[in-house]
Structure 1
Amino acid sequence: MTSLRHLCMATAGIAALSATLPADARSLETAYGTVEVADNPARVVTLYTNALDTSLTAGVKPLGAVATRGGDGVARYFGEQADGIEIVGTPRETNIEAVAALAPDVILASPQLPEAQYELLSRIAPTVVPDVEPYQMESWENEARVYGKALGRSDTIDDAIAEIDAKAEALSERQNGSPTASLIRWMPQGAIVMADNIFASTLLTKSGFTVEDGDTVKEGRPHSDPLSLENLSRIDNDWLFLATLNAEGDEAYEAARQSPAFERLDVVQRDRVVSVDGQLWTSATGPMAAKAILDDIASAMDAAQ
C-alpha cells in the first residue's frame, strides 16, 4: 500500500486521467457536497463492501474493489459473480495508483471515507460518499439507494430492498414471541460481541429476534472487547449466532468450546448455537449479503423446529 504522502505526490500526475463528464450527467448529494456522475457509468470502482454488493445487485460488475476484512479477496458469498474484479486495497487503505490505472467513470466509497482520501480519489473520477449515519437500522438500505442512484439503477435496488424486507417480515411472523439472540465473532483473543445496531444484528431484529449484547458493547462501538470464557454467561440468550473470520479464529473457538464454561451455557445445552460465516455476518453489508444472512436465519429456524 502507499503512504498518504506518496499518494499526494502520485495524484499530481493522476489529475490528467480524470474524464470529462458528458452532458447526460446526474447530480448526487453526498457527504462532501454535490457530485456530478455520468448516467449509467460503465467503468466502476468500489471501495466498500456495500458498494460492491449493490453494484453486483444492480447488474454492474466493478472493475476494482477492496478486499473484505478477513481475507485477501472479496467476501466468499459473492461467488463467481466477483470473478475477475481487481483488488485495489483493503478496508483500511486504498491503492490510489491501482484505482487510477482502471480509469473509472465513478468511484463508490464508504460513508466513513476520510476527506483527505476523498480529495485524492475525486481527482481521478467522481467519488460518491453517501451522507448516511452509520449503525442505524436503515443505514445499509440508505447507502444502497445512493449507490443505486449513482449507477442509474435505482429501481433495481429499491426492488431488492423490498424483497429483503418481505423475507425478514415472513421470518418474524414465524417466531413464537421475540426470542433473544446475540451475535459474536470468535477471535484468537476470545469472543467479541457485535453491537445490536450493526448490519447483521439489524436483520436479526427485523426477523423477530431481540438482539442483546449483555451490556458488553460501549456506546458508538461496533463490538465489545474480547470476553473471557467466564463472562460468556452475559450473552447466554435463547440463540447464539457465532462467527469466525479465519483459521486462527476457528482454532480458538474449537479450543474454547471444549471448556466447561462454554459447555454449561444454556444456549449450548439447548443446541441453539448457530455457526455462521464471519465475512458475511460481521464484515459484509448490502442487498446480496442481507439475502444470504436471511437464508442462514431461515435455515437455523427450520432446523430448530
Structure 2
Amino acid sequence: MLITIRKTGLCLALTALLAVSLPGAARMLDTRYGTIEIDGTPERVVTLHEGALDAAVALGTTPVAAVATRGGDGVARYMDGRVDDIAIVGTARETHIEAVVAQRPDVILAAATLPESQYRLLSNIAPTVVPKGSNFAPDAWQAHTRLYARALNATDRAEALINNFDTRTAAIATQVPEAAEATLARWMPQGPLVMADIIFASRVLAAAGFTVNDAGVVAEGRPHSDPLSLENLDRIDSDWLFLATLNADGENALAQARSSPGFERLDVVQRDRVVAVDGQLWTSASGPIAANAILDDIAAALDLDRQP
C-alpha cells in the first residue's frame, strides 16, 4: 500500500497503519504454490485434508465441507458432534471438483500434498491454501495450523492451541519412565503395519516422553511398514504397544490374532501394556483437536487425569 502524507501527514500515516492492522484486513499468505491474498474473515470454508478440518474447527470455524477420512465415508469418529451435517466433497485421494464448486467457498484449505494440477483448478474457485513442507516434518501440524489460522483470521487462537499442547505434553512427560519405548501399529486384515516414527501420532508420543520404536521395518520416508506376518509379531514388542484399527475388518482380524499363541507370548501383552486406540485418530488424523485426543488416550493408559 502506498501512503501519501499531506498537511496532516502524521495523522494520516497512523490512520493508515491502524486500518491495515484491523481484524479482517487483507492478509498475504506464503503457500506452496506462491503468495495468495485473503481479505476479511472467511465464512464458507471447505477443507480438503483431515488436518485442515481439525485445525479449522479448533480455530473456531465450522467448515461447510470436508473430505472423508481413511477407512470411512464421513469425517473421523473423534470429530463426531463437532461438524454435524457437513458435506463430503471427496476422499484423501480424490477431490470432487463439482462438489466443491457447489459449496461456494470463500476459502479452501488443502493438504501440503495437493498436486499443482488440482491447485490450478481449485484456485479458480476460491483462494486455496496449501502449506509448504512435508507432512512428516517435526513441527508440521503446528506450522500448518498457523498458516490455516492466518487464512481464517485467527492467529492468536492458533498460538494458544499450540501453547496448550506444549504445556500438556511437558506435564505428561514427567510421568513417563525414562527411555520408555512405544510402538504404534495399525492392524489390517493382512497383518499389522508398524507406523513410522515421523507420522503425526508418533510425534505426539515423542513429545509426551516416549521413545518411538518403529522396529526397524519402516522404509525411510514411508508412513508405515508392509504388513507383518503373525510369525514376525515379535517385531512389535515394546514397553508399550498402541494398537489401532481403522474399521470392522481390522477389528475382526485383530480379535483373531489376539487368540494366537504368538500374540499372547509378547512381553508387552504379558505386562498388560497393549492399548487399543482408534486408527482414524492415531494413524490418519492431525491437528490440535487430534493432538489433545491422543494425549487423552496416553494419559488414560498411564492412569493420569484427562484434560478438563
Does TM, scored on the shorter chain, surpass 0.5? Answer: yes
Q: Which residue of 1 aligns with 2:208?
A: 207
Q: Residue deviations 1:245-275, cap 9 Å, x none?
A: 0010001000011111111000000000000
Q: Residue deviations 1:271-295, cap 9 Å, x none?
A: 0000000000001000000000000
- Partner Cα distance (1:127, 1:154) in 2: 18
Q: Which residue of 1 aligns with 2:163?
A: 162
Q: Conserved in 1, the CA contact under 8 Å of 2:174 and 2:209?
A: yes
The SS at the match of 2:82 is helix
The SS at the match of 1:112 is coil
- Pairwise mapping of residues 25-174 of structure 1 onto structure 2 (< 5 A)? 25-174=26-175
Identity among equivalent pairs (%): 59
TM-aligned CA deviation for residue 214 of structure 1: 0.9
- Partner Cα distance (2:119, 2:204) in 1: 30
- Partner Cα distance (2:79, 2:246) in 1: 16
User: Deviating runs (4+, > 4 A) in structure 1?
Assistant: none
TM-aligned CA deviation for residue 39 of structure 1: 2.0
- Partner Cα distance (2:298, 2:51) in 1: 20
Q: Conserved in 2, the CA contact under 8 Å of 1:66 and 1:74?
A: yes
TM-aligned CA deviation for residue 81 of structure 1: 1.1
Q: Conserved in 1, the CA contact under 8 Å of 2:185 and 2:236?
A: no
Please give the TM-score of this superposition, normalised by the length of structure 2: 0.90
TM-aligned CA deviation for residue 107 of structure 1: 0.3
- Partner Cα distance (1:142, 1:189) in 2: 35
TM-aligned CA deviation for residue 80 of structure 1: 1.1
- Pairwise mapping of residues 196-275 of structure 1 onto structure 2 (< 5 A)? 196-275=197-276
Q: Which has the larger radius of gyration?
A: 2
Q: Conserved in 2, the CA contact under 8 Å of 1:38 and 1:105?
A: no
- Partner Cα distance (2:199, 2:223) in 1: 6
Gaps (5+ residues) in structure 1? 1-22
TM-aligned CA deviation for residue 240 of structure 1: 0.1
Gaps (5+ residues) in structure 2? 1-23
- Partner Cα distance (2:45, 2:177) in 1: 44
- Partner Cα distance (2:51, 2:156) in 1: 17
The number of equivalent residue pairs is 281
Q: Residue deviations 1:29-52, cap 9 Å, x none?
A: 000001111221111100001111
Q: Which residue of 2 aligns with 1:195?
A: 196
- Aligned-residue CA RMSD in angstroms? 1.1
Q: Conserved in 1, the CA contact under 8 Å of 2:109 and 2:129?
A: yes
Q: Residue deviations 1:52-76, cap 9 Å, x none?
A: 1111011110111001111110011
Q: Which residue of 2 aligns with 1:8?
A: none
Q: State yes or no: 1:277 paired with 2:278.
A: yes
- Partner Cα distance (2:96, 2:283) in 1: 24
Q: Conserved in 2, the CA contact under 8 Å of 1:76 and 1:279?
A: yes
- Partner Cα distance (2:272, 2:137) in 1: 31
- Partner Cα distance (2:166, 2:85) in 1: 31
Q: Conserved in 2, the CA contact under 8 Å of 1:51 and 1:147?
A: yes
- Partner Cα distance (2:29, 2:77) in 1: 31
- Partner Cα distance (1:43, 1:132) in 2: 26
Q: Residue deviations 1:171-213, cap 9 Å, x none?
A: 1011221200100000011000000010000010011100011
